[in-house]
Every structure is written in structure tokens, then in C-alpha cells.
Amino acid sequence: MRHSTHTPAPGRRRRAALLAVSALAAGLLPLTTAGAASADDPAPVPVDRFEGEVPFASQPAEGLFTWGGDADDNPKLELKERADAPEGAKVLEGSYDISGYGGFTHDYAADQPAHDWTAHQGIRLWWYGDGSGRKIPFEIKDGGAHGEASELWNTSFTDDFTGWKQIELPFTQFAYRTDYQPVGGIDHVLGLDRMWGYSLTLPAGVKGQFAVDDVELYGKADPALRAQVSTDAAVLPVKEGGSARVKVSVTTTGNVPLADDVTVAYATDGGTATPGTDYRPVSGKVSFPAGTASGASKTVTVTTSKDREKAETAETIPLKLTVTGAKSPAETPQVVIDAHGLPYLDAKLPVKKRVADLVSRMSLAEKAGQMTQAERGGVGAGADVTGYDLGSLLSGGGSTPTPNTAEAWAGMIDGFQLRAQATRFQIPLIYGVDAVHGHNNLPGATIMPHNIGIGATRDPQLAQKTGSVTASEVRATGVPWDFAPCLCVSRDERWGRSYESFGEDPALVTSMETMVQGFQGRADGSDLDRGDRVLATAKHFVGDGGTAYGSSTSGTYTVDQGVTTVTRQELEAVHLAPFSEAVDRGVGTVMPSYSSLDIIGDDQGPVKMHGDAAMINGELKGKLGFDGFVISDYNGIDQIPGDYASDIRTSVNAGVDMVMAPYAYKDFRDGLVTEVKAGRVTEKRIDDAVSRILTQKFKLGLFEKPYADTSRIGDIGSAGHRAVARQAAAESQVLLKNSGNVLPLKKSQKVYVAGSNADDLGNQTGGWTITWQGQSGKHTDGTTILQAMKKASPGAAIDYSKDASAPTAGYDVGVVVVGETPYAEGVGDVGNGNDLELTAADKAAVDKVCGAMKCVVLMVSGRPQLIGDRLADIDGLVASWLPGTEGDGVVDVLYGKRAFTGQLPVTWPKSETQLPINVGDSSYDPQFPYGYGLTTSKKVPVGGEFTLKALALAAGHVHDAKAGRALVDTARLIVQRKAGDRITAAWAKPFADADHLSLTGDYAGALTTLLTAYREA
């Protein structure tokens, strides 16, 4: 390729220097050229001159290309001639307006050999500064198959100058990127012998322009790149009087023997422990001669002493290392003498007393740290956990350890917990994840149906079981906190989060909150310290499911993060009701919504929920009596109007106790301290927030057992857990049409299978699976619907043609599995590149198969799909939702191993123009009403008005929910049978209303209403 053989033009470096001097004289440039080169340095090697030698192109070709969180985040690039160009005639200029993330990349061609950068000290570039003070991340791509399947290493420089400046980035300065790796990481070694290019990330949240020129490799390779000294741990806690053994190791790139001698001088120095009193000082030197094998280690022992103090906070003993001949450890290891004798450490004391004792001892900065939650990718190896007294970390969607295994999760979180042991009070972290349908960030975990499917089961006991399985698998990896369940009441299926809701009816959502007990156990929190329980989160408070179409101001979203406009009565009846139930069930945390609330008649206008004191302090903590803690959503306070300081004080004063500031955690912690010192946030408010947080940490048993209990790792993805998911998948299937009793299928039938979602596990599991948005294809362990069909009928002929292009003659029945591809949050909003129509390919598959034979269509989707114009040609129609990893559950009902029992958790519309359409609407004419669901049970009830009246009479004497629901279900099936395919508005409205009444416990009212529907059929 052109760069691998390109050599600098004669006199090029001299020309650049002359240009800098002449420009300085003309007042154009500050004196900002890089340091003088050594005489034995190799000549610089160009990477990009931006003279047109590298095109705008993407893989597999070599080229420059842009990227971003969405299309609007991609910067605009051009090669432009400039008189002040530091090198050549042109520079790369660009403009940007980034709300999420964005930047540009230079990738070498994937079909050519990678480049070797090992001879050089680093990479440098000319940057035209604007003096903004913003950090500009710079990334290089090491190893792997090509630039988009390599290992990422990054550093940054600060744009704190104006005009052109040459920025030098030594390779020793680059760190392994911890928040994202495209191939999950390779060897965690910056080898530099297989390099694929670089990328620059541009500032977000502000419009800007940039100019860059002359990216090149410079200098002679630093010996520290070939060998590195490390210690076995950055923090080594010991009981007072114990000894810590610090293992000092040396490793080399490529695991070759040392080329030169390496010496490590050590000495205990500094820290909060007193030498001679708390420990015996040590100093000395260890050597690793040339020829030593990579991985060799030696041990330094630090011995502590018992003093006369019976109660002490933790004390630190840094072991300073001075390395010659290799790269030094990233940080100084610290021996920590454990805190002891203090009341808050006494597990026999009541939690309230332990909390009060600890809070009374903490500084303002330590309290602010407890109120701060950072993203694991933001803290790197975790030094800031100690440095900023952080109270919590999280993994956002797709933020995982490398490798992404259960053991690696436990090891990673234990490593972060170890950092917390170096703080004064050794307050453990509380680590949180979005395990919204199983431990969905972990390949191999049991993935449940999304909540919309759980709502379709109408089975509270099963909902609790799914929560229990999830809790067990999550806690086994060291995670004690789950940002679930979502208690949103989804009122518009155009919302990209509608599948996170149990349904459109607050009574249905409330009935499924047994999942909270599945997560936490008993409502008093006494089970939280068990190894199979996690702290639950009720989200998103309040009204996120009611945002109006077109009200969002977040990028290209149309519904998500918009405005919910309701009367006070509607707010309480629809959106607040599920949170009241959650508080009664003892939910430990609540998360506010990104959305805004506009209560008609209060003259406040739309108020961002993260700053809504009336709702968080007044309604949630006041009227509902919530005594857990409120955790913000991801960067949620940033959307409050005003600057960051006002965001901090507004949210905290409104009642937010912990703020999720994934990468801005330093700004939040320090900003909160400033706000308190200025008197804009009271210390009383801080103490309340910290007390709430610490209460949950004590209940979880984290002070006694901060590290992962991995004894249940073997249960992750186990047969027993998958059996629960399989049952949930089966019960979630809603049979909407069954002409000629095409279902259940017979194992003797010859079946033609088609459709995009028949054999795609990624589409079947949906968003929030392994990554935030999810992805098509196989990314975890599970069974697709096609695979399950073949397992269920091993002797039958089951042939698959995804696009239905194979001949259709000779088959008894066709099964076409269609629907959506994965998405999450506002990315999935209708109008944001999405609609409720099937793709052209799926429509063609349905038309071809259903035109040739009896057919069953399965909708694998997060919301209803418009099917009305094809309904007459379809014999069987099933709403499969997003059933998770267990396709066997879907097939269990297809082949009659289980009867179809699911009911619609949302109204199925005839057209998009009907939206929003919900149970209880005065005008209600759906394709299929809320609560609808046929059965294939062999015991289908029969009867007429007399039977329905008798059932209504019996309901007046029923006080048991199970018995009442059974009466209503019997009547529902009778009413459905009479209606057949003739679903009219006059029939649908009382039918849907009856299901709502049943869920509220009004079984007599439900049966009376079903009698009205029967008469309209």
C-alpha cells in the first residue's frame, strides 16, 4: 500500500520548520513545534498528508471515513488548500454538531498487510487549536484482522491553544480502551507490529470546526514499549498486624526473554499509616537480568503492626517503585490496613445505627463520592474509585469485560471493589447493570422474553420466577443491582421502548410487579444479602410511556424522551399507580425518566423529570413513602435546562440521590461539593441522600461480603433456568387467528418455513441483548424457532427458505416468521427510520407462502405490526413478541405441547393513523382488542348468555384473585368464540374494558361487560 513504501520528500522536515518560523514572524502561529529530534532518530513516516493521497472511503478499501451515534453526528470532511498548511498545500478540515458521539477514522485497506510501527516512539499531528480547553481523544488500531476488527488503544490531547500546534503522542501514553472493543479484545498488548490506522473523536454538545494536517510516526522506539513491570494488585488490604506480599513481575511484548537488564527499586513512603508505629518500613531493589523469561516475578513483603488504637479507619502504605529498563506500573501499589472497631462495621447493630455512625464520620467530599456513579469504561483500571471515593459503578449496554464471561465479570467487579478498600472507610461499591430480560450483557446467560411478552402471559407467578432467575445469574457475576423492572405504561406503540413495558394498562403493569419480589425477595429487604438476590429499580419515574409523538427534542427521536401531557387524574390513574405498587413491594431504587411531565392546569409547563421536585420529593418520597434511593438515568441530569452546576443542584434538590455521570463523574462529584459549600444544596439534603444509599449497601451485605459469590456461576444458562424462560416464551405467545384449526401443527406434516426471523437469534432476542441496541445474527447461546421446530419433529420434513425463493409445491403447511430487527430506546421510534410495516422481503415471503398453502405467520417483534391487508390470506397469526433465547417455548405451542394461553398486553391497531389507541378510549376500533387471545386447549368452554350470567353471579361471591380470573377467562373464551373473525368496534371496546376490570379485581364488573360484548358479537 502507498503508506508502507512512502518516504518523506527531500528537505521536508526543514520545510516544515521554516514554515513554522515564517508563520510565527507573520503573527500566524504560536511557537508550538514539537521537540527537537535526536540525531539517531529514524526519519518520520507519513500516515496522512491530506494532499489527496488517501481517499474518502471505508473498509475494505483504505480511506478516511466518518462515524457517529446517528447520521446527524457524522462530521463533514473536506481536503482544503490553505496558505498556512503546516505541510504541503492542503489540510483536512471539518465541521461537526454532535449530540451523541462522532469522529473520523483512517483505516488501512483490509486486503493488504498491516503496518509495522515498532521502530517509532509515537504518532504526531498538526492541530489547529481554538483554545476551548476540550480534550480530543485519539485512538490507534492494533492487531486483529483489519481496522474494524482490531484492538483499540487511546489517549488524548487538550485543545488549550490557538493556531497550529504539532501534537506528539508517545505510544507509551496509550491505554487499552476499556469501554468498547470491536472484537472483545485480543491480547491486551500494544504490539505495534500489526497496525491498521487511527481515529479522532470530536467534542460533543457544541457546534465546531477543526483542521488537522500531517499525521506521521516520529522518533525512536522507547525501550519501555518492549518490557513492562507490573504488580499483582494495585491495592492489598491486610488486617492490622498482618503482612502483605507484593508480587512484582516483568513481561515483554511477544513474551520473549528480556533484551536488557531491568531493575526495580522499592520503598514504603507516604500514605496515611505511620512508619514504625503502623508498619515496618522496607526498601531495597529487585533485578531481572537480560534473558529473564517474560512473566518472571519477585516478592516484596510489607509487615504491619498492631497499635494501641482499638478503633481506626483504614490506613494506606504506598510501595513506591522506581523502574530502570522497562515501563513502570501505571500506578503505585498500596498496602491497606483495614478499618476496624468502628460501630458501622458491626453487623450485629441495626442498619439505621450503622448508617448514622458512618455518615457522622464522613467528609463532604466522601459523601459526594457516594452520590456519584461512573461507567466502568470511564474509570479504566479503577484508580478513580479510590481517588474520588466513588459510591457506584455501572456497565451500560454492551459495556463488558474482556473476555465477556461470567468469571471475567466477577473478576472485574472484584477488582473495582478492591479499589474501594483503599478509601478511608472502605465503603463498598454498588455495581449496577441493565439486566432487563435476563443477564442480557452476558453471552450464555438465560434471556427471557422482553416485558411485553411477560405482560402477555398474564401470569404474575411466572413473572416472579423470571425475576428470580435473572437475579440469580446477575448476582453470581458480582453484580448486586439491576436497573429493572421498567414500570412504564406504554400508551403509543410508536415508542421505541414499548417492548420494555408490560403493557398499556396500569392494572396489567401493576399485576406483573411480582417481578420485584423475584429480584429482591421479601419486601422488607431482609433477603437482599442472599447470593441469588439483587436490588431492583422501578423505572422510569414517571410517565415515560405517555410521551406524545413528535414531542421529543433528543436528536432524531420522535417519541422517546418527549413530553407527557396529562391531567392530575390521568397521571395518578395511569402512570403513578405502578410506582405506588412498587413502593409497597419494597423496591430499593427508583430511576427518573428522561422525559418531561406537563400536568394540565398547574401552569408549570413541561418539567424535566430529573428536576421535578414536586414529583420526586413530593409524590414519590412524600406521599408514596419511598425510603430507598433515587438514581438518575444515564447522563439524565444533563437534559435539565441550564449549565452543569445548575443541573447538579436542581436534580439533587429535587430528590435525586445518586447521579449516573458515566464519564463526567469527576465534574459531578467536584461540582456537588462546590454547590454545598456555596449553600445552594444543604448538608441535610446530602446526608439524607447518602443515608439512603448506605442503607441499601448494608442491606445487600456488601460491607461483610463485597466480593462476588461465584458459587452459582454454574447455574447461569442452566437447564433449570432455561426451562423458566421456555415456559415464559410459551405463555407469551398470543394466538390472534386460527382458521380451520391450522394450529397446533402435527409432527407428521411437511412444513415450509420462511421469513427473516425464523432462524435469527439476534432478532428473536431484540434490543438490550449483549449490546445496547442488540444485533441480528447469533451473539449468544440459544435456540431459534427454526432449530426448535426441527428438534420438536425430528422425523418430519421441515425445509427452510428465508426469502421463500425455494419451490413451494408439496407442503402441508407453511410457517412464515417475520417482524422487526433489534433496536433500543429512541433509536427504535417510529419516524426515526422505523415504521410498523413489514419489510418488502417479509411481505413477499408472506404473500408467496400463504398464496401457495395453508400458512401460519409468526410476528417476532417488540410491538404490533400492521398486517390488516394480508389478514384474509393468513390462516394462523401469532404475536410472538421477542421471546428470548428459548425458541423451544414458541414451538411448544406451535406443536401443541402446550396450549396457547397468551393475551394481548397492548391493542393491535388496524393502521398507524389510529395511534395512539388504548383500552378505555372512547373511540376504539382495533384490528385485535387489548386482552384478546385464542386458545388451542382441548377444553374450550362453551355456553351462551345463561352461562355468562351464571359466571357473573358466581363472581359476586369470589374473593380469591385466581378463582376470579378463572371465571373471567372462561367467559372471555366464550365471547371470543361467538365473535369469530368478526371483530367490530362495538364488540372490541367492552371486550377490552372487561380485561382491565378483571385485572383491577372487579370480576363481577368484568363479566357483566363481557356479556355486553357477547351481545354485540
> Which residue numbers are catalytic?
633, 825
Answer for the pair 488, 545: CB distance below 8 angstroms, yes or no.
Answer: yes
Q: Can you tell me the distance from the alpha carbon of 691 to that of 696, in angstroms, rounded to the nearest whole number?
A: 9
Exposure class string for 610-623: b at 16+ Cβ within 10 A, else e: bbbbbbbbebbbee
Q: How remote is the C-alpha of 278 from its chain's centroid?
A: 44
3-state SS class at 519: helix
Q: What is the chain's alpha carbon radius of gyration, rounded to the nearest angstrom?
A: 31
Instruction: Name the 3-class secondary structure at 845.
Output: helix
What distance in Å separates the CA atoms of residue 772 and residue 1009, rounded to the nearest whole number? Answer: 42
- Whether the CB-CB separation of 152 and 177 falls below 8 Å is answered with yes
* CA 288 from centroid of its chain's CA atoms: 44
CB 76 within 8 A of CB 65: no
Burial-class residue 403 by CB neighbours within 10 Å (0-12, 13-18, 19+): exposed
- C-alpha span between 449 and 462 (Å, rounded): 12
Extended beta strands in 269-380, E state: 283-288, 296-303, 315-324, 334-337, 372-375
Of the candidates 965, 1010, 973, 990, the one whose C-alpha atom is nearest the C-alpha of residue 511 is 965
Cell of 279: 508498619
Taking CA 776 as the corner, what is the angle to CA 775 and CA 780, rounded to the nearest 5 degrees? 75
Contact 319, 300 (CB under 8 A): yes
- Coil, strand or helix at 577: helix
> Counting every residue, how long is the chain?
1017
Distance CA 19, CA 8 (A): 16
**What 3-state class would DSSP assign to 337?**
strand
Q: Which of 234, 271, 245 is nearest to 421 (CA)?
A: 234
Residue pair 876/739 in contact (Cβ under 8 Å)? The answer is yes
Measured CA distances, 84 to 88, 211, 681 (Å): 10, 11, 50
Closest by CA to 590, choosing from 568, 612, 562, is 612
How many Å apart are CA 640 and CA 651, to the nearest integer? 8
∠ at Cα 430 (426, 434), nearest 5°?
Answer: 165
Closest CA to 938 of 975, 900, 976: 900
Burial 133-146 (b: 16+ CB within 10 A, else e): ebebbbbbbbbbeb
Residue 527 half-sphere exposure toward CB, CA atoms < 13 A: 20
Angle between helices 719-732 and 460-476 (to 10 degrees): 140
Positive/negative CA dihedral, 558, 105, 53, 110: negative
Residues 6+ apart with CB under 8 A from 978: 944, 1014, 1017
